[in-house]
Amino acid sequence: MAHCVVPEAEALLDKEFPVLDKGFVRLVDYLGGDQRVVQAARVSYGAGTKSYREDAGLIDYLLRRRHTSPFEQVILTFHIKLPIFVARQWIRHRTARVNEVSGRYSVMKDECYLPAAEDVALQSDDNRQGRRGEALEGARAEEVRSALERGQREAYRDYGALIDQGIARELARINLPLSLYTEWYWQIDLHNLFHFLELRLDTHAQKEIRLYAQVMLDLARKVAPLCCESFERHALGAVRFSRDEFAELKRRLAGAPAGSGAPPSPDGAGLSGKALDRFRAKLETGEQL
């Protein structure tokens, strides 16, 4: 296949895009773009084998029908600086190649993430994984921030003292907090990047990792704009319905709302209770629940 150069992506290489208070994302390198996906799908050579409109239609067809292998031909390499607690969520996506800075070889920098006051909130009542949508009032938020900063400062002071005493770096580091910043090179193909973005841009994902995901989507748009446009239309902005939910949707389209006494669908499917609540929420909010 011909080498794919994307001028818009070339212009962004090695530029730092800030995330959180001290983090960043850099696009270090890329292989291929929209044209590579098209070439791989058609198993042809060279650029311009079809019109722009036909290429866009093919990409949309591939993503809509989940023919994912052509998207694996596009590879992006990022340099990312992020808090360790974000990295530990991130590493669950095991479809990338990762090289992370090592606290065994290097002295870690005195850099920790401190959330802004507007991001300090109580535990959610209905989401075991997350915080409430509303932030704490100013004085209480600053108390929390002060407590976090105090713990970070003390932990790094003890770490530095152990390093100065000649204690092995692999031992000195073990009490460092999850808020400490780490760095890694993260290389992934476009298909698996889309899977990462679909999960980490969801409103249920932690805000801190959502901010990184948004920057990465913005950079991916420069590498493969047609692919990203299709991804946003068919995956990021879409809602999936279960078999029973689809049966409920068909009943409603036929003019038989839930609870109207209309006969059930031929397969006997019907929604009630929490299942019906989830279905209604999908229709009202457009969120995947």
- Let me know if residue 83 belongs to a domain: yes
| 32 and 74 fall within a common domain | yes
Beta-ladder partners of 123: 131
Residues 169 and 185 placed together within one structural domain of the fold: no
* pLDDT per position as a tens digit, 167-222: 999 999 999 999 999 999 999 999 999 999 999 999 889 999 999 999 999 999 99
Are 150 and 84 found together in one domain? Answer: no
**Rounded distance, CA 196 to CA 188, Å?**
10
The domain of 281 spans: 243-285
DSSP 137-190: PHHHHHHHHHHHHHHHHHHHHHHHHHHHTT--HHHHGGG--TTBEEEEEEEEEH
CATH number, domain with residue 187 = 3.30.1360.170
Mean pLDDT along residues 141-170: 98
Does 2 reside within a domain? Answer: no
Q: Same domain, yes or no, for 55 and 24?
A: yes
In a domain, 203, yes or no: yes
Kindly state whether residues 185 and 171 are assigned to the same domain: no
Residue 112: inside a domain: no
Residues 88 and 191 in one domain: yes
Assess whether pLDDT exceeds 50 at residue 86: yes
Is the confidence at residue 243, as pLDDT, over 50? yes
| Residue 267 maps to a domain | yes
CA end-to-end span of the chain, whole Å? 41
Are β-strands 97-100 and 181-189 bridged in parallel, bridged antiparallel, or unpaired? antiparallel
One domain for residues 198 and 84: yes
Q: How crowded is residue 249: how many other Cβ atoms within 10 Å of its Cβ? A: 15
Please identify which of the residues 53, 200, 243, 278 carries the catalytic annotation. 200
Q: Is 200 among the residues known to form the active site?
A: yes
Do 133 and 190 reside in the same domain of the chain? no
Count how many domains the chain has. Answer: 3
| HSE value, Cβ hemisphere, 13 Å, CA-based, for 169 | 9
Are 63 and 202 in the same domain? Answer: yes
Is 226 within 8 Å of 232 (Cβ atoms)? Answer: no
pLDDT band at 76 (very low <50, low <70, confident <90, very high): very high
Of the chain, the percentage scoring pLDDT greater than 70 comes to 90
Residues 169, 248 within the same domain: no
Same domain flag for 90 and 167: no
In a domain, 111, yes or no: no
